[in-house]
Amino acid sequence: MKNYYVLIMAGGIGSRFWPLSRTAHPKQFIDILGTGKTLIQQTYDRFLKIVPRENIFILTNESYIDLVKEQLTDIDGSQILAEPVMRNTAPCIAYGSHKILKINPNASIVVAPSDHLIMDSEEFTRCIKKSLDAALENDCLITLGIKPSRPDTGYGYIQFNTQKIGEDFFKVKTFTEKPNIELAKTFVQSGDFLWNAGIFVWSAKNILKSYEKYLPEMNDIFKEGEMVYNTPQEQEFIQSAFSQCTNISIDYGIMEKADNVYVLPTEFGWSDLGTWASIYDQSEKDYVGNVVIPSERVIMYDSSNCMVNVSKEKLVVLQGLHDFIVVEENNTLLICPREQEQEIKQIVADVKQRFGSEFI
């Protein structure tokens, strides 16, 4: 276990969950499912079963340092890796990997989002441990694939072939970003496509070899910090490093190009909780299909299949509403048909243009 490390990515702003998720307090720091724990707390607890507490690092934005400290009270400040500017996933993973390599050259690292739902924790733990071991023993980059239950157009897909490492890790053939419905149906029917969960496992040495090959300029930027990682000078160096980085994802920068990528097909009750629809799907419903979080002061008459998330202090009465999203937070009320929730991103942009950042 001492060679196992975790990088939890917690820097996103979660604009699809506006107005509940706001730039100053995004969805990973919210108890969006009404469980009593925020998404980042659930993710952190899950990994405590796999790696020592001191081997968990949080990749986040500078403006969320206090939120991380407030919600994960037992981690040290040195375990929070703060990006001064948003530059997508490749730069922050390069930073985390170089920092961990300096601590332990034999490290095996899992990189995971902070805001996903995992229903079967035991199976998740088994899959991650198996992947961490495989990553230490083989020259490979591993991604976790989810066996698709439906042709969903909201996920990326991973195609694999019959070439394997061990019994369970299949060679990745292609990555496809969010396909249209016809293509998604073909993928699911073929049986050789999985949903891309955005969870990666590799050794520190192998991922940095891939950065050297596919993102050499970015790798050089973070390699320059070798002498300052895990010292008081680290943050000053990072300020300068991030300003030089291009905005690129790890998927596009490395995973789609590398020839040593393998996928582990998994089933552990995963959802990326990317939309109100996914929250609705995962939540307990009343007898007419309504989801109400929290439910103490909401009264509904002749209303069905609604997703309602309102502050505890408000009394909310809904009459004759069917298939709607109703969210109230931050002096903002959103009422939107469930089938039109993809418009929320545009609504957020319009609100910002008209009223500035006050409500965003």
What residue ranges define each of the domains in the chain, with the CATH number in brackets? 4-271 (3.90.550.10), 276-355 (no CATH)
Residue 294 has pLDDT above 80, yes or no: no
C-beta atoms surrounding 299 within 10 Å: 12
Which tokens in the block code for residue 193? 């496509």
Residue that wins the pLDDT comparison between 221 and 1: 221
Residue 34 has pLDDT above 90, yes or no: no
Residue 14: the pLDDT is 82
Question: How does the average pLDDT of the chain come out, rounded?
Answer: 94
pLDDT digits (tens, 9 = 90+) for 46-72: 999 999 999 999 999 999 999 999 999
pLDDT digits (tens, 9 = 90+) for 120-178: 999 999 999 999 999 999 999 999 999 998 888 888 999 999 899 988 999 999 999 88
Residue matched to tokens 């408000």: 314
Residue 313 has pLDDT above 90, yes or no: no
User: pTM (2 decimals)?
Assistant: 0.94
The residue-averaged pLDDT of 16-32 equals 92
Residue 6: the pLDDT is 98
The residue-averaged pLDDT of 270-295 equals 90
Residue 126: the pLDDT is 97
pLDDT band at 267 (very low <50, low <70, confident <90, very high): very high
Closest C-alpha to 172, from 148, 205, 196: 196
Q: Give Dmax over CA atoms of the chain in angstroms.
A: 65
The residue-averaged pLDDT of 312-339 equals 93
Residue 151: the pLDDT is 87
pLDDT band at 350 (very low <50, low <70, confident <90, very high): very high
Give the separation between CA 17 and CA 332, rounded to whole angstroms.
Answer: 12
16-39: b or e for each residue (b if 16 or more CB lie within 10 Å)?
Answer: bbbbbbbeebbbbbbebbeeeebb
